[in-house]
Structure 1
């Protein structure tokens, strides 16, 4: 299984930025990559909010795997980010 060299928070923030900027989503930029590189950090708070929501698996997720492992993994993704971000 591949492992990303970007944090989960950064990946989510980049997706959010891309959705807003790219013509392939809700934006107008036909080549949004460079702009996403510049502004993704502005979406970090939204990414953290999404991850906080994901801490608790739903019933289907719990049936598919270990809910405690899921929670630990999401908390691990939040850990380096929460020390420098405002908590909700």
Structure 2
């Protein structure tokens, strides 16, 4: 399985920025990549809120795997962001 080199929070924030800026979603920029690179930090709070919501798997997710492992993985992603934010 591929492993991303970006934190989960950054990945979510980049998606949110892309949705806001790109003409392919809600924005008007036909080439939003550079703008996303510059502004994704502005979406970090929203990304953290989404990630906090994802701590508890739904029944379908729980049936597919280990719900305790899922919670630990999401908590690990949140802890990385806490460590980065406090540095």
Q: Which residue of the partner structure matches residue 64 of structure 1?
A: 64
Q: Which residue of the partner structure matches residue 31 of structure 1?
A: 31
1:57 aligns to what SS in structure 2?
Answer: coil
Determine which structure has the larger helix proportion and give its number.
2
1:7-33 deviations in Å (ceiling 9; x for gaps): 010000000000000000000000000
1:5-63 deviations in Å (ceiling 9; x for gaps): 10010000000000000000000000000000000011000000000000000000000
* TM-score relative to the length of structure 1: 0.93
CA-based RMSD of the aligned residues comes to 1.0
Q: Which residue of the partner structure matches residue 8 of structure 2?
A: 8
* TM-score relative to the length of structure 2: 0.94
> Which whole-Å CA distance do the structure 1 matches of 2:76 and 2:65 have between them?
17
2:29 aligns to what SS in structure 1?
Answer: coil
